[in-house]
Structures are given as structure tokens and as C-alpha cells.
Chains A and B, each alone.
Chain A
Amino acid sequence: MLKIIARRVLVAIPTLVLVTLIVFGLQKILPGDPLLTLAGEERDPQVLAYLREKYRLDDPFHMQYLAWLGNVLTGDFGNSLRTGVPVSTLIAQKLPVTLQLAVMAIIMAMLIGIPAGIISAVRKGTTTDYAANAVALSGMSIPNFWLGIILIMVVSVQWRLLPASGYVPLTENPIQSLRTMLMPSFVLATALAAYLMRHTRSAMLGVLTSDYIRTARAKGLLPKTVILKHALRNALMPIVTLSTLLFGELLAGAVLTEQVFTIPGFGKLIVDAVFTRDYAVVQGVVLCTAVGFIFMNLVADVLYILINPRLRHPQ
């Protein structure tokens, strides 16, 4: 089993290298000179020359890339072109905020999506099933930033139930922190819940028609036991994988959610960086997201091997 996991980790390495190449290459290939932004309004030739030297812009591409990669490997993503603050510091500040949002969203999505999928599968073809499917499809189609705006208008402005924006650290005031994050994480969870519902439903439908379920029913087990113990346990496998894979979607969705609810997280960091043409920050955030995603993929695969005994031994 360790061998399989080790091989899986090794396979991730070329992907990681390519990602760094893409992230670094993007800035080089595409038009726009970050130096001009960096040098300020005057564009003093001396300042430009100094910066070219500092960022090794006269070196050949592969030398620049290797120098950059070397820094990245030691955790040095460069400094924000605007504020001079190290990108790694910025990321370390913003990441916990987005992680809280993402974790709350994924828990909410699982709590909504998985039971809905089970019920829908068990009651296939009934009104409940159709309604659940219609809600799921709507959840996938609704732009989450719009849902955010509508919720703010109703829940915060009309009913005055929850704060409309901002962020309170979990360590400072846990209750207020959860209250502020409740609406944003629900908004972020809608699409995920919809995917989870649809996948749970189809996985359950697949399992429910299998022989061992018929056997379990035939020997007179309670329907509840059959569904929850026998069927769900097998249907859950693809769902666990899916949940980890949706992590990427979650981070992307967080960009918009954070914008609507003015949450100072990862998403807001990249959007602000884009507008100030702070390429170092954009690069850092994109790279971090991609590495996170590859890591989650790895976790998904390892989980899959751990849950599924058939995969534990190489053929």
C-alpha cells in the first residue's frame, strides 16, 4: 500500500513542476511590463535599470525561472510590487480567513447535499425526487455573487438578522465569527451542495440495484439499515473523492463571495492585486491555489486507497 501511495506522490511532481512553469511563464509571455508599474510615474531610467538588475530581467528565461523556482522552494514568493510586503506574509495572513470560509462551506454542503441525494435516490421518480433535482439544478445555475447580494438585502437589511459584511477572527470572538461567516459560507456552499446531491443520488442509485443490497433486503434487514449501512458506505467512496476535488472550485468561488461580503481573504487578495497590477501577488496566489489543489488530489487518492480494500494490494 505504501508503495502505491509513494508512486502517486511521485506522479504529482511533474505536474507541480509544470504548474510552476505555467505560473511563471504567464507573466513573461503576456503583454504588459510590471516594471513600469513598479518604477512609478516618473519611470526614471536609473530606477528601471536597477530593477532590471534586481529581478534578473536580462537573464535568459530558464535562468530567471530557476532563480525564481529556487526562491519559491524556500518559501520566498518575492515581495508585493506595491507595498513591499513579502507575498508569503500576505498569503499567511489571508489564508486562514478563506480556509474558515471554505471549511464551513464544505461542511454545510455535505450536510445539505448528501442527505438530499440519499432521499432523492431512495424516492426515485417521486415528487420529492423531482423537487430535490430542481433545487440542485438551480443551485448550480445561480451566480453565487448574486445570491450573496440578495441574501444581504433580505437577511441583513430587511430582517437585520446577520451582519452584511466584514470578518471577525475565530480566536477573537468565536460566536460573532461564525455569525459573520454563516451567510458567505452558505452562498459558497450552494453549488457544492448541488454537485454533492447529484453525485450522491447517482452513486446511491447505482448501489441500490446491486446484488448484495437485494440480498440484504431479502434476509429481512430494516430498510434503514440497508440504506445507511450497506448502500451508503459503498456509495460514499466517490463522494469523498469528489468533496476533496471540489476544493479548487471552492477557492475560486471564494473570490466572488469575499468580494460581495467584503471578507479580507485569499480571494480579495488576488482581486486587489489584479487591479493594482501586483503580479508577484497574483503569481503567489495562483501558485498556492494550484499546489493546494494538487495536494487535495493526492489526499483524495490516498483516501480512496485507504477506504477501498481492493486497491490496497498491487495487482
Chain B
Amino acid sequence: MSVQAEAIAPRRRLGRAATKFLANRSAVFGGVLVSVFVLMALLAPVLTSYDPFATSFTSIRKPPSADFWLGTDELGRDIYTRMLYGARASLMAGVVSVAIAVAVGVPFGLLAGFYGGWVDASVSRVTEALLAIPFLILAIALAAFLGPSLTNAMIAIGLSATPIFIRLTRGQTLAVKTEDYVEGARAIGLPNVLIITRYIFPNVLPPIVVQATITIATAIIAEASLSFLGLGQQPPNPSWGSMLNTAKNFMTQAPWMSIFPGGAIFMVVLGFNLLGDGLRDALDPRDH
């Protein structure tokens, strides 16, 4: 088969994957869930007339009502409003940290898989060592050394997720490397950089996209966890995790303070997980 013909294949595969994805009801539901939260985050100022920071001592810990849809917190701030702005922190944390993990992990994985030998050996050993430290514990340790803030939490989560992408990309590269079109590209004397970027990278991309989607879910929980522990978003800035951190002190007096932010984390994470599962099924090459 000619190198050209195989190189076009990914585009044709994409069309088939899209059809398959749209036929999967739970995947579409996941997509809708995620879109709703993205819209909430983007349109926050339009969707509420309250200020997320405005405290009010006359409306402390009020239960949900017509004025305060989801109630108010211990400083009289509107929970619905803080959740809209908190969605920004959660989604940004999910996307940015995964972007960091992909940007660092994928090149290392490509290099290790393509060149093999000592490059592979050294990258793989370091990856294994990093994977030996549980994700959240590594993120907590990094966040602790970097100091608590949302930015540092994103860096910590991103770096902790990096080994997952190195390992995945390396494995995929090893498989793709032996394909005819890569052999062909080599035979006509293309430089390695071109072989990697033009022939290997597009073909290892689908599983990376699936993993990235699922890792966004993990990263959102990780950010919420760090913020819940006080290592992420710092008060008074809203984040679902930091809202839960204060809410746990008012479990009996103001249960609504815990129920809604946690529910939001659950829904958005569920959305990304459904989306990831759907993408995995849609992009599964075994079905073609």
C-alpha cells in the first residue's frame, strides 16, 4: 500500500468514528453534560445577578429559596453564583493540567518509542518510578512544595498525570512503528522528525484523545480534592472543592452548602467519563 493512501486514512476513519459516536446515547449524554457546564462557566456573569464575592450578614446560611436558588454560605454569599464561577476553576484545572501532561508526556513517549535503546530505557525507568507514587499523593507533595494556589495545583496535577501519557504514547508508538507506511517513509529517506510528526503522531493520537478525556475527569476530581484539602484554589476565590472545604464544617446546619458543589463535581466528572468511554468505543480500530 502506498504511503499516501495510508496517510489519508485517519481522516476517513474520523468520519466513521463520528457517526458511531453520535449513535451512542450515553456518549452524547456525556457530551451534553460537559457542554452545559462549559456554558455555565462561560456565561457566569449573564446567568446570575449576584457578585460571587459579595458577603451579606443579613443572609447568612439561608436555605434555597426564590432569592437564593441554591441557598447562601457562611458569609451570606449566593451559592448558585459561586458555583457558576467555581465551574471556571474546575474546568480550567481539568483542561490546563491535562494539557500540561499531554504536552510533556506525548513527546517523551514518541521519542522513547521511536528511538528505543537507551532513550527508551531511561524514559521508561523514570516513568515507572513516577507511576509508583500514587497520583494524588504525588500531586499533594508537589502542591505542598510549590505552595497552595490554583495555578500550582494545576501544575502539580499536570506533572503527576504526565507518566500516564508517556507510557501510553510509547506503547502506541512501538505498535505504529512497525506499520508498512512507516517502513515506507523510512525507505524513501524521510528525516526522523517528519516520520514522527507526520506518520506516527496522527496514528497514535486517537488513544491519547480518549485518555486525555478520561484524565480531565480525574484532574477535576484531583483539583477539587486539593482545594478541599486547602492546597488548591484559595479563599475567597470560588472553586467547588474549596466550597466543600468550608461546607464540611456546616454539615448539620447548612447541608445545601455541601450538596450542590459536590453534585456539580459528580455531574461534570460523569460527563467526561461518559464522553471518554464513548470516544474509546468510537475510535476503537478493532471494529474497522
Contact = CB atoms under 8 A, between A and B. Distances in A.
Given A137-B274, A145-B225, A286-B138, A274 B244 contact: no
B251 A157 contact: yes
A14 B125 contact: yes
A125 interface: no
Interface in A18-41: 18-19, 21-23, 26-27, 30-32
Given A32-B147, A150-B258, A19 B133 contact: yes
Contacts of A285: 137
Contacts of A22: 129-130, 133
A249 B277 CA distance: 20
B26 to A, nearest CB: 8
B252 interface: yes
Interface string A133-176: 00001101111011001101100010000000000000000000
B265 A143 contact: yes
A295 to B, nearest CB: 10
Nearest to A30: B145
Given A26-B145, A27-B145, A153-B258, A145 B134 contact: no
Interface in A112-143: 137-138, 140-143
A140 B276 CA distance: 13
Interface stretch (A63-71, A255-263, A304-312): A255-263
Contacts of A153: 251-252, 255, 258
A31 B244 CA distance: 29
Nearest to B147: A32
Nearest to A256: B225
Nearest to B228: A145
A282 interface: yes
Interface in A225-262: 248-249, 251-253, 255-256, 259-260
A198 B129 CA distance: 27
B266 to A, nearest CB: 5
Nearest to B271: A141
Given A18-B126, A143-B265, A150-B259, A138 B141 contact: no
Nearest to A29: B145
B135 A252 contact: yes
A264 to B, nearest CB: 16
Interface string B145-173: 11100000000000000000000000000
Q: Interface range on chain A: under 10, 10 to 19, 20 to 34, or 35 or more?
A: 35 or more
A251 to B, nearest CB: 6
Contacts, number: 134
Contacts of A279: 145
B269 A152 contact: no
Interface string B105-143: 000000000000000000001101110111111101111
B230 A275 contact: yes
B108 to A, nearest CB: 15
B213 interface: no
Interface in B205-262: 217, 221, 224-225, 228-231, 244, 247-248, 251-252, 255, 258-259, 262
Interface in A265-280: 270-271, 273-275, 277, 279
Contacts of A137: 270, 273-274, 277
A64 to B, nearest CB: 17
Given A251-B137, A252-B136, A270-B140, A146 B128 contact: no
B137 A252 contact: yes
B137 A145 contact: no
A149 B273 contact: no
B28 interface: no
A289 B133 CA distance: 7
B174 to A, nearest CB: 19
A156 to B, nearest CB: 9
Contact of B137 (A142, A289, A297): A289
B221 A143 contact: yes
Contacts of B135: 248-249, 252
A286 B132 CA distance: 10
A286 B244 contact: no
Given A15-B132, A146-B265, A286-B138, A138 B145 contact: no
A142 B266 CA distance: 5
Interface string A282-314: 100110011001100100000000000000000
B144 interface: yes
A151 B45 CA distance: 34
B185 to A, nearest CB: 33
Nearest to A198: B277
A286 B145 contact: no
B76 to A, nearest CB: 21
Given A15-B128, A19-B133, 18 more contacts: A18-B128, A18-B129, A21-B129, A22-B130, A26-B142, A141-B266, A143-B224, A143-B269, A146-B244, A248-B134, A251-B137, A255-B137, A255-B140, A255-B229, A256-B225, A271-B229, A274-B143, A290-B129
The 6 closest A-B pairs by CB, nearest first: A146-B262, A18-B129, A252-B136, A30-B145, A274-B144, A252-B134
14 contacts: A19-B129, A22-B130, A32-B145, A138-B270, A140-B273, A142-B266, A145-B225, A145-B228, A153-B258, A249-B135, A253-B136, A255-B137, A270-B141, A286-B133
